Every structure is written in C-alpha cells, then in structure tokens.
Amino acid sequence: MRILVFNAGSSSLKFGVFDIPRGAGLAQMRQCFKGSFDRFGAGGCEYRAGLDMPKPARAPHTSLEAATLAVPDILAEAGIEDIEAVAHRIAHGGAEFTGATELTAPVLDHIRALTPLAPLHNPANLQAVDVARKVWPDLPQWGVFDTSFHLTNPARATTYAVPKAWRDAGLRRFGFHGTSHKYVAFRAAEELGRDLRDMRVISLHLGNGASACAVAHGQSIDSSMGMTPLEGLVMGTRSGDVDPGLFGYLSRQMGLGIQEIEDALYRDSGLLGLTGSADMRDVEDRAAKGDSDAQLAINIYAYRARKYIGAYAAAMGGLDALIFTGGIGENSPSMRRRICDGLEFMGLKLDHDRNMAVDLVGQAAPQIQAYGTRVNVLVTETAEQAMIAREVAMAMSAPRAEALRIPVAVSARHVHLSRDAVDALFGPGYDLTPDKPLRQKGHWAARERVNLHGPKGTISNVAILGPLRDRTQIEISRTDGFALGLDAPVRHSGVLQGTPTVRLQGPAGQYDSDGLIIAARHIHMNSKDAQQMGLTDGDSVSISLATTGRGLTFGDVLIRVSDNAFTEMHIDTDEANAAGISGAVEGELSGEAILRAT
C-alpha cells in the first residue's frame, strides 16, 4: 500500500510517501520520498526534496495552497505513482476521533468546529485537506489526530476544577503531539528490547512546540498540553503554563482585550517573549556570549521540563526510560544535560561522551545514560509521518468480518492469591476449596473468603479465585478504592509494578500485599473467534452495547487470546452501573473497531 502523508503548518508543508506491506509494522515500512516547503513569503519559500533532504533551494511558492498544488508534479518527476490514499496530520480532534478517520464532509465540519482550540494548527491542516481533495479527487483522504493518543488519559488528568457548566460546554484537557509521543515510545521499547506495556516512559518533544507525555504500560496517562496546545512547557513563541488570573490583571492594568492577550500568549511569548528570538540555537549562542535574557530563558526552559519529569515519574510510580525528540531534544546536548542534571536521586544520569556523540542516522535511538544507572535515556528523531502512514494503512486494511456478539460479564471484587498469601491467611499448607467453576477453563471460585483493610475502611467477604498465582493480585472497582481509602490504578492483569499495598485478613492471620488494581476492561477470546475477526493477542477493540442498558460504547478493550478461552468481555461493577447493565448482556464487536497495539 502506498500512502502520501501531509503535515501542514501555517508557514510550512512537509510531505512523504510510504510503501507499507499489508499488516506490517514500523520496521517493514519503506519511505520512498520526502520533501518540505518552509518559510512561505512574498519571495517564495525554501524547498527540499529527496530522501537525503539536501540543502534547501528556493521555490516560487508563496503559500501553503501553492506548495500543495506543486506536489503532484514533484512526485511525477520522481517517478512516484500508484498512490492509494492521502493522509493528513490534524492537530485537534477533540474527544471523538480515537484513531485514523476518513475525512468525509461531516468529519471535516466537526474538525472545523474545533478550530478555536487549535488556532495555529487546525486551519493549516484543513487547508491542505481541501487542496488535496481537489488535486486527488478519486483518492480517500484520511486524518490522524494529535489528540487521539491521549484519549486514554484518566479523568483526573483531563478534568479542570472549574464550574460544571464550563465542563459541560467541553472544557477539558486533551494533549497534543500524540503521534510523535506514540512513535518515540514504541521506538524506545523496540531499542531496549522490551514490551512497552511493561514500561513507564516519559517522552519530551522539544521543538518550536514542546510537550511532555507520561506513557504508563503502553498508554498515555498525562500530557503537559491541555485544552489547547498552549499549556505546559515553554515553547518557541508560546508561553506554556501561566496563571489564568493574568487575563483579568492585564485587562485592568493595561487595558488589553481577551483576543490581544491570547494572541500574545500564542505568538509573542515563550523563547521569543523572553529573548526576542524563538530559535533555541540563537538563544544558546547569545547565552554563551553573556546575554542575561538568553541565560534566563535557557534556565526557565530546562527547569520547566525537569519539573514535568519529576511530576510524571511520581504519577507513574517510577520511571524506566526518558526519551528526547524534536529539534531541540535531538540536537542540543547542553539542553539535554541541563534537564537531566539533578535527577540522580531517581536513578537518572547522563554519560557525557554518549550525550555529546548522538548520531540519529537511519532512525537510530542511541542511549545516553551513564553506565549502570537505572533509568534509560534515549534520543531519537520523531517520525510522525511514518506513524500517520502506518495508522492509515492499518485502518484501511482492517478486517471487515461480520459483527461478533460477545457476552459481557461483570466482575465483582476478588483476589488471586499466591502460595505465601494462602499460608499466611489460612495456615501453612492450606489448600483452597474449589466451590464453583468459572467460564474460563480451569478457573474456579473458592469457598473461602477474605477481608480487605485500608486506611479508611474494610470490605468483607471478598471472593478468592483460583488457581493460585505466583503473585497476589487484588481486583476492585474505583468505588471500592474510595471505601478502602486507597488509590488503585487501572491496570491489565499481571501488571502490578508500583501498585498500592492493602491488608488481607483471613481466619489464620493477615497478609500485606501490593497488587491492588482496578482491572482494565478486557476480552478473553478463543483462538477461533480471534481468527474469525482477524484479531491477535494484545489488540484493542471497541464494544458497543447499543441494544441494551444505556447504549454505551466501551473503547480500548484489550484482547487476550488463548486456545482454551471462553470468549467473554469482563468489566467491573462501576462500568456495569454506568452502562445500566442488569442480567445477561451482549456487546457487539465489528471489524471497523479494531486497533492494533503495536
């Protein structure tokens, strides 16, 4: 499959063509062309073309539209043909677009309505789409959204503490640079030879736009950008975090209107506001010559990034890898060092020589941490266009099997015990008594029960499920967590690193164990059903309950495939209550709902 990708900005257009074998991962993709137009002006623009991206030449194109119209001739001259789809980076997709989406007229209308939330980005993205539809009227146009990767952020990370009427009107945090953060997180896991679902990663995308992202066990759980791309880190022309009280203050003291203030925060702040230049290379050169404004700007930039690293490491309960990407993250050894210095207490320290010798040729992802330190630090070029092409190819080739109806089971609170836990709770050598077989072959509910004790309260008569496991796991609902006074994270079964400790009480004694989780919704799927749907272990799907309860759709449902599984979806009691489920319920999984995990 051959896909043309556009990444349009207000003063630039980047594009690339990718060949993607059906069902291939990032490693099997081949980029067969790339080009860029930069710095549109009355005299034309800078232009580069070719995989080696030579020094820029001048081109006569004075606008994004003119540059887009020039692309067909450029591709024809390079012998690039047989394009099957055109893909676009879209900055803001709101909460509706969870993955690659075909850009139909209603979809484009919805994106246009989001323009006030991304005034520097969405208009340029949409202009490129409009021109491409005219140039390639017979090709499908697809969008991939910067916000999609962050839709897994929990409500506590996305909710502003503002009046309900504001929240009902759509005021919430979204996060951006999602395609970049997703790519570099997977790239780091690949480089380290680890499964991203077993890692806690912080991605720092540092460029003219800058953001930090916390990726825990394969999912974005927080991002420094908020409702708009203005919140968070210091950027080239954007302020990042400010006190919202400045609007009232500047209105009273300087007579500025809301639009004036907002425009200044987007276009006249950040490095530009601090130094008069939005280019970190220029700022670093001036700082080395004694410019105090430039020196302060560098300190602020690094300090803000370092604060987010500490905050996100705390939010994830630890850190396994820190990744630098973006123009500054990739090219400034001194900024990487400034950001990392002082983080030795958390096992993060750079090696001077490795940091100075970073070589990113061939999408390399070199490690630059000091030898023997616990936290890996990597640098890699982001490859947003490659990720966009891959997601569109996956969406276009997703199976279109008949919808599969899946029974939905509500899992009440329960525990899985280890041998040590059974000995402590019921006595050495005690064997649990299987009382009731479960639908999953070889699993059963025991006759015995335990109590859970937390700092706020106790939950009694909690079921024990067998057989025994190597490590104790306690599964509760979010409401149960508040009853106990403990903050249990949403995790997939067996992912227990950094989970809270709770006290279990049995007739023979007590046992303190970590492993307290809210089980992420998932589907146990028989291999035959998985084959019918074209699914593999680790994929994610959406399940619609449109014919029952309150008609909810559950997204990001993990598929766990095995030969002996009984195909069944598991949700907890809070989710069942939210869906209005009572009695036997089935959900519907369709081919269009499939998302690949890697």
Cβ–Cβ under 8 Å, residues 235 and 204: no
Q: Are 374 and 560 in contact (CB under 8 A)?
A: no
CATH of the domain at 575: 2.40.40
Q: Is 538 helix (H, G, I), strand (E, B) or coil?
A: coil
Pair (473, 509) in one structural domain: yes
Measured CA to CA, the distance from residue 308 to residue 553 in angstroms comes to 33
Q: Are 18 and 5 in contact (CB under 8 A)?
A: yes
* Per-residue pLDDT, 556: 79
Q: Are strands 522-526 and 219-223 parallel, antiparallel or unpaired?
A: unpaired
The answer on whether 207 is annotated among ligand-binding residues is yes
Instruction: Identify whether residues 485 and 533 lie together within a single domain.
Output: no
Is there a single domain that holds both residue 500 and residue 542?
A: no
> Looking at the domain assignment, is residue 253 inside a domain?
yes
CB neighbours (10 Å) of residue 598? 14
Measured distance CA(391)–CA(56) in Å, rounded: 30
**Residue 215 host element (H or E):** strand 210-216
* Domains: count for the chain: 4
Q: Is residue 155 part of a domain?
A: no
| Residue 130 domain-assigned (yes or no) | yes
The domain boundary residue, chosen from 337, 366, 395: 395
User: Is 14 annotated in some ligand binding site?
Assistant: yes
- Cα dihedral 586, 588, 589, 593 in deg (nearest 10): -130
User: So what's the pLDDT on residue 591?
Assistant: 47
State which of 395, 423, 440 marks the end of a domain.
395
Q: Cβ-count burial of 538 within 10 angstroms (0-12 exposed, 13-18 middle, 19+ buried)?
A: middle
- Domain-located, residue 152: no
- Encoding tokens for residue 55? 């020094």
Residue 404 lies in a domain: no
Triad 260, 262, 264: Cα angle to 5°? 70
Which CATH number characterizes residue 292's domain? 3.30.420.40
The pLDDT score that the predictor gives to residue 596 is: 47
Structural domain harbouring 22: 1-145
Longest dimension (CA), the chain: 84
**Does residue 56 sit within a domain?**
yes
- At residue 466, what is the residue type? G
Q: What is the pLDDT of residue 197?
A: 86
* Together in a domain, 325 and 380: yes
320 is catalytic: no
Q: Are strands 219-223 and 404-411 parallel, antiparallel or unpaired?
A: unpaired
Residues 458 and 534 in one domain: no
The reply to whether 320 sits in an annotated binding site is no
Domain annotation covers residue 309: yes
Listed in sequence order, the residues at least 6 apart from 213 whose beta carbon sits closer than 8 Å to its beta carbon are 149, 150, 175, 177, 178, 181, 185, 202, 203, 205, 220, 222, 223, 224
Would the annotation count 197 as a binding residue? no
Beta strands 458-466 and 414-416, pairing class: parallel
Has 281 been labeled as part of a binding site? yes
Q: What angle do CA 376, 382, 383 make, to 5 degrees?
A: 130
The answer to whether residues 184 and 297 belong to one domain is yes
**Is 577 assigned to a binding site?**
no
Say whether the peptide bond before residue 407 is cis (omega within 30 degrees of 0).
no
* Backbone angles phi and psi of 163, in degrees to 5: -55, 150
Asked whether 121 and 72 are in contact (CB, 8 A), the reply is: no
208 is in an annotated binding site: yes
Q: In angstroms, what is the C-alpha Rg of the chain?
A: 26
564 labeled binding residue: no
Cα–chain center distance at 440: 32
Q: Using an 8 Å Cβ cutoff, are 18 and 30 in contact?
A: yes
> Are residue 17 and residue 138 in the same domain, yes or no?
yes
pLDDT in tens, the chain (598 residues): 899 999 998 778 999 999 988 665 666 788 999 999 988 889 999 999 888 767 889 999 999 999 999 999 999 999 999 999 999 999 999 988 888 999 999 999 999 999 888 888 899 999 999 999 999 999 999 999 999 999 989 999 999 999 999 999 989 999 999 999 999 999 999 999 999 988 999 999 999 999 999 999 889 999 999 999 999 999 999 999 999 999 999 999 999 999 999 999 999 999 999 999 999 999 999 999 999 999 999 999 999 999 999 999 999 999 999 999 999 999 999 999 999 999 999 999 999 999 999 999 988 999 999 999 999 999 999 988 999 998 899 888 765 545 678 889 888 999 999 999 999 999 999 999 999 999 898 999 999 999 999 999 999 999 999 999 999 999 999 999 999 999 999 998 998 988 999 999 999 999 999 999 999 999 999 999 888 877 888 888 888 875 554 556 787 788 999 998 999 999 888 888 877 776 678 888 754 444 444 4
Residues 235 and 305 grouped into a single domain = yes
Domain final residue pick, 362, 395, 428: 395
- Cα–Cα distance for residue pair 385/168, rounded to 1 Å: 34
Residues 286 and 378 in one domain: yes
Q: In this structure, what DSSP letter does residue 350 have?
A: B
On whether both 220 and 348 belong to a single domain, the answer is: yes
Residue 326: inside a domain, yes or no? yes
Q: Which of 507, 508, 538, 506 is nearest to 523 (CA)?
A: 538
3-state secondary structure 467-521: CCCCCCEEECCHHHHHHHCCCCCEECCCCCCCCCCEEEEECCEEEEECCEEEECC
Residues 515 and 538 occupy one common structural domain: no
**Same domain membership, residue 375 and residue 427:** no
Catalytic pick from 38, 138, 146, 514?
146
- How many Cα neighbours within 13 Å face the side chain of 500? 22
Does 279 show up as a binding residue in the annotation?
A: yes
DSSP 27-58: GG-EEEEEEEEEEEETTEEEEEESTT--S-EE
DSSP state at residue 369: B
> What's the confidence (pLDDT) of residue 542?
80
